[in-house]
Structure 1
């Protein structure tokens, strides 16, 4: 299927197709060996690989266009979800096959007990610690792998077949200025998985409104789902900065101050609300970003809108309000934008890219198998993905990765025993958690509080990876601060924690249920 573009882009697509074909052939060989008892599996896998490659090509081309149509953006989202799912199924099958072969060759080895063949079942019954949600299951309750594979491929092919008009239409939209392709291998430096949402916010901001009313876009999503990151990314766009003369930012708990709400030139400068100012702009338009944890007081909201209207009597100003609560939906003049955590398939695609970078995971099948196991345990946590990916990249050997996987699993088991809850679910609720360490004699440390600050703030000298790996200076006693991760994309937040060395106290009745191989971590 030909997609229009420059010769260099066409060569990139051709090269990707050739490499993808070579990789898929080797993957097919391994997988077919594992499923020799099921005739026709080779043809089914070839179908899957072909449709995934086609979807990859179309998604990459479409993401390079500035698409404005909401229906087309939804179609692009469906294609992207199909791409993630296709890669997830292929990797799961390949690693299942590799894990089975590993168990046959080394039944007593350390890697065999971590094989995805014990975790990535093709049934509805969850196996392994912490994997009890539907996203971790590839297929339904049918034990016939071939039948379920065919159904999954049929769905992907139907999705692709319904995109003929989409493929024709997206080529009519202008190309966006893009970085060299290699930059996309470093997902630390770009926003992942929010392309459709970004397009939608841009369309809201750049669209002219015939109504004199102040346009408001509500953005709703759970904690750490990426609301602030999405807004910051959009505000960096040159088209947005050319359209608005000033971008004002109201962080959480800021609107309680009467002086802040009165948007006069003096008050704005004193309170440091100006995020960006375009002095050369002839348009007197404001873009106001409001962050609240839950709901906003009605009188406060009215005063804010009135103050914006006084500052920009000609209209054209807009507000984006973000919250974890649905209560702000009523404030919008357009449909609310809802953000959620990544699906398991998308999270694996993201984590794999962070860990292996420009190296193909097919070149290190045993490491990739363990990486997929680690990703399954993380419950789509962005922060954990960055922490673990950095540690694994710096220690590229099977023994170390095996130890990390063992520690991660033991941590999940301990939280299930103590709280009947996965540690990353507690993290989303800002509850204290026990985080694992490599050092066996101490095992865990307790994270009591979570903080985020902008790039100008001073960060602690202790890094979380130093705690995990027992490297660097001796850790202080009592409660202390540590930096977890510094984001490389706007708003460039520093994520820090308050923590202390404290082993979890599992109740005696529950402790007996802990696996023998994990007791040294309790």
Structure 2
């Protein structure tokens, strides 16, 4: 009996020692891989930031840059996920093993991308002309306003600078909600080569073409475009309600020796309006959006020095689901308050808004994504705000500060007495470049449907 107990005890001790050795060996391996991945990410970011400051027109180089950036975004996503696992104490063996494999895969992908880039790519990159470093561009670079759109930007620029083969050439751009299409267009239009190429840049909306009250101003602008030798016209069709007859009349009124037009809409039906293949913008992938939000939320601060904030930021990015304007709104607030308590409160606010919207839409994300209305409530005992998604954009310089809405979207989050009853406008977001977006909240409601009542603690 004593011999049997001795054998059993020896086996248990042997397994325990083996388990401890394996655990610390895996921990040592993970730490080494984390350090290696961080070093590779630093190298990749150096190449990418240098590329951002160059005018790259070669399609092969753009493709290679995109592959490097994809590997870098995925690397940061896996790195931060692994760090979050250690912060929250989720160290189950199966989960840790899976994370370690993903860490290894991300490291290998990044190493391969850097090995490919550090040869001919860097040599060619140094031969590309530098973009002028005006304060405007520096701000765009720091805020990553042109994040993930290098190929699309080059396609638009190439279309605009191509020699004319007809009096009017039209490029349709199709986009889902809040993917940064105005940012993309304005960034291209502000390039020196584009500004020098066109003598006039004019913007129209659906209301300008359909509203009789705007006809006098519309015709005057059309005459100016027609009188210019080289004009660029940007048209945003908000409701896609323009008739073929109106469109033909509009095109004939502005056609001259060499005009170019960009038409923007959510509907794929505008493809019929183009003289060239439509450009379709897509939402950023999950790891792309995480890097974008991570960058603008922390600003000049190093995210690695704020692990708890980094964990909260991942939760917020998951709730926002790729909406660029929402990302910019909340990132501005977070960047100004690097405080765990404030970031946690912001995350609860966003989580609550998302749950209210899901309840209102019957739990369907498809309905949520296409809905033009949603509910918001900044405080547990406050009223619900029914917001209409029928926003309008106003070109910078067309409004003075006194004409802008007094209430901004930030107030809903940080002020309890910002709202009155009835209908009022909200300045949702003021873009750092050309346009600001105004959102209208037509009414404050207390829903009668019990299914929309808020649960405390959301």
Structure 1-normalised TM-score?
Answer: 0.71
CA distance in 1, matches of 2:57, 2:87: 44
Larger Rg: 2
Give yes or no for contact 2:231–2:259 (8 Å, CA) kept in 1.
yes
Q: Determine whether 1:327 maps to 2:263.
A: no
Q: Secondary structure at the match of 1:248?
A: strand
**TM-fit CA distance, 1:377:** 1.0
Structure 1 equivalent of residue 419 of structure 2:
475
Give yes or no for contact 1:76–1:196 (8 Å, CA) kept in 2.
no
CA distance in 1, matches of 2:152, 2:209: 26
CA distance in 1, matches of 2:274, 2:364: 35
CA distance in 2, matches of 1:184, 1:232: 11
| Length, aligned pairs only | 429
Q: Determine whether 1:436 maps to 2:391.
A: no
**TM-fit CA distance, 1:298:** 4.1
Relative to structure 1, the CA distance from residue 405 to residue 157 in structure 2 (aligned partners, 3 Å threshold; closer, same or farther) is same
**What are structure 1's unaligned runs of at least 5 residues?**
1-33, 101-116, 124-141, 262-266, 512-517
Note the alpha carbon deviations across 1:38-78, whole angstroms, 9 max, x for none.
56323433442233222212211122111112332233222
Structure 2 equivalent of residue 246 of structure 1:
200
Structure 2 equivalent of residue 372 of structure 1:
314
Q: Determine whether 1:285 maps to 2:230.
A: yes
Structure 2 equivalent of residue 520 of structure 1:
456
CA distance in 2, matches of 1:182, 1:227: 20
Q: 402, 410, 413: which one pairs with 1:465?
A: 410
CA distance in 2, matches of 1:259, 1:484: 27
**TM-fit CA distance, 1:177:** 0.9
CA distance in 2, matches of 1:175, 1:451: 37
Q: Determine whether 1:176 maps to 2:116.
A: no
Note the alpha carbon deviations across 1:261-293, whole angstroms, 9 max, x for none.
9xxxxx77754459999x9xxx82222223224
CA distance in 2, matches of 1:325, 1:155: 37
Q: Which has the higher helix share?
A: 2
Q: Determine whether 1:493 maps to 2:431.
A: no
Q: Secondary structure at the match of 1:219?
A: strand
Structure 1 equivalent of residue 57 of structure 2:
68
Q: Secondary structure at the match of 1:254?
A: helix
CA distance in 2, matches of 1:381, 1:287: 28
Give yes or no for contact 2:82–2:99 (8 Å, CA) kept in 1.
no
**TM-fit CA distance, 1:494:** 3.4
Q: Secondary structure at the match of 1:225?
A: coil
Taking the TM superposition and a 5 Å limit, the aligned residue runs for 1:50-89 are 50-89=39-78
CA distance in 1, matches of 2:68, 2:214: 44
Give yes or no for contact 2:425–2:438 (8 Å, CA) kept in 1.
no
Note the alpha carbon deviations across 1:341-361, whole angstroms, 9 max, x for none.
222222222222322211112
Q: Secondary structure at the match of 2:405?
A: coil
Structure 2 equivalent of residue 223 of structure 1:
177
**What are structure 2's unaligned runs of at least 5 residues?**
1-22
Taking the TM superposition and a 5 Å limit, the aligned residue runs for 1:25-424 are 37=26, 40-100=29-89, 144-163=98-117, 164-179=119-134, 183=139, 186-187=142-143, 190-209=145-164, 211-212=165-166, 214-256=168-210, 270-272=219-221, 284-293=229-238, 294=240, 297-309=243-255, 311-312=256-257, 316-421=258-363
CA distance in 2, matches of 1:431, 1:410: 18
Structure 1 equivalent of residue 445 of structure 2:
502
Note the alpha carbon deviations across 1:361-401, whole angstroms, 9 max, x for none.
22222122112211211111222223322333344322232
Give yes or no for contact 2:223–2:253 (8 Å, CA) kept in 1.
no
Greater mean alpha carbon deviation, residues 480-489 or residues 289-298: 289-298
Structure 2-normalised TM-score?
Answer: 0.80
**TM-fit CA distance, 1:244:** 1.8
